[in-house]
């Protein structure tokens, strides 16, 4: 019975992680005009830090010497992930839809494989190259037709830049694995990332003013600070460690599905033929890429 419960909880956690990540894009889009993007990025991580601190601090104390020895590497990882990726996502939400954000973000496994080829020289199978071409073609359709009239939407380009940033982060994490507890890594990345966001947040504060902390803003900030920042991370890692990365990776497909449903219900976003064509190419590309990697692992 315990053997069944382990995978069952892992699958539930992976689905919840995908749902929370989808909700992040929907909340970001819904908050446009109400919460400035840099304010959302900064306070999201302040909340996550406060939630995480009691659980991660004992690990940080035990591993402080290792953290100090690797602080430059951790700083680079923090800039690419906590500071750059999430801030770019909230900036993208100002001018593009939640559906576009998650469809383009769904290419993360493709981007990681491509960055691994460029940075680490990793070899890719022909099926993986085919998957990369198909997925990037899908992204091109969404980006080039993102404005609805054949124009390029700035937000689509920004989220594409965010995906590149996450791809480089993932490759650097793989290139130099850190002998640290997962909670230590997350806590340190947040602690290093917040000072990087702060100057830009202060600039935004002077240029646009602060946010009005009403009930809607407080609810949105608590959501992004807890669910996609902390719980998704923990649920995802538990799922990967329980059922393996290949099975866990399939749950990435749920993110655009959850987003499309939530954006339709909550934001009245519509799906157009370009979304269907782009999504089909991206999902087929993801399948080919991950399937090829899975077969290579088994052989």
**C-alpha span between 282 and 276 (Å, rounded):** 10
The pLDDT of residue 237: 79
Q: What angle do CA 67, 72, 75 make, to 5 degrees?
A: 90
The label of the residue with tokens 């991580």 reads 45
**C-alpha span between 83 and 42 (Å, rounded):** 9
**C-alpha span between 114 and 212 (Å, rounded):** 41
Cβ 113 vs Cβ 291: under 8 Å: no
Based on the number of CB atoms within 10 Å of its own CB, is 128 exposed (0-12), middle (13-18) or buried (19 or more)?
Answer: buried
**C-alpha span between 10 and 169 (Å, rounded):** 25
- Which among 171, 21, 174, 169 has a CA at the least distance from the CA of 103? 21
The pLDDT of residue 226: 94
**C-alpha span between 237 and 225 (Å, rounded):** 18
The pLDDT of residue 298: 38
- Which among 263, 201, 230, 193 has a CA at the least distance from the CA of 37? 201
Cβ 155 vs Cβ 90: under 8 Å: no
The pLDDT of residue 293: 53
Q: What is the DSSP letter of 255?
A: H
Q: What is the DSSP letter of 31?
A: T
Beta-carbon contacts of residue 251 (< 8 Å; ≥ 6 apart): 11, 14, 15, 17, 18, 239
The pLDDT > 70 percentage for the chain reads 89
Cβ 159 vs Cβ 165: under 8 Å: no
Residue ranges of the chain with per-residue pLDDT less than 50: 1-4, 149, 294-299
């Amino acid at each position: 019975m315990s053997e069944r419960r382990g995978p069952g909880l892992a699958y539930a956690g992976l689905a919840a992680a995908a749902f929370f990540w989808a909700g992040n894009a929907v909340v970001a889009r819904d908050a446009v005009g109400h919460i400035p993007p840099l304010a959302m990025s900064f306070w999201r991580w302040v909340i996550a830090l406060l939630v995480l601190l009691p659980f991660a601090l004992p690990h940080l104390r035990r591993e402080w010497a290792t953290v100090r020895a690797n602080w430059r590497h951790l700083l680079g990882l923090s800039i690419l992930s906590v500071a750059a990726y999430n801030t770019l996502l909230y900036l993208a939400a100002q001018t593009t839809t939640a559906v576009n954000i998650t469809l383009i973000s769904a290419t993360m496994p493709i981007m990681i494989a491509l960055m691994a080829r460029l940075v680490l020289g990793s070899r890719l199978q022909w099926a993986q190259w085919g998957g990369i071409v198909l997925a990037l073609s899908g992204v091109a359709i969404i980006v080039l037709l993102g404005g609805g009239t054949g124009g390029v939407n700035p937000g689509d380009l920004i989220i594409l830049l965010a995906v590149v940033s996450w791809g480089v982060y993932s490759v650097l994490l793989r290139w130099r694995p850190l002998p640290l507890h997962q909670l230590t890594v997350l806590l340190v990345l947040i602690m290093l990332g917040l000072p990087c966001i702060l100057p830009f947040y202060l600039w935004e504060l002077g240029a646009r003013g602060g946010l009005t902390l009403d009930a809607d803003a407080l609810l949105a900030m608590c959501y992004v600070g807890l669910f996609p920042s902390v719980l998704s991370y923990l649920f995802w890692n538990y799922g990967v460690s329980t059922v393996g990365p290949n099975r866990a990776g399939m749950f990435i497909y749920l993110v655009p599905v959850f987003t499309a449903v939530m954006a339709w219900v909550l934001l009245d976003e519509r799906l157009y033929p370009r979304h269907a064509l782009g999504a089909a190419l991206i999902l087929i590309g993801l399948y080919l890429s991950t399937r090829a990697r899975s077969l290579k692992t088994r052989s």
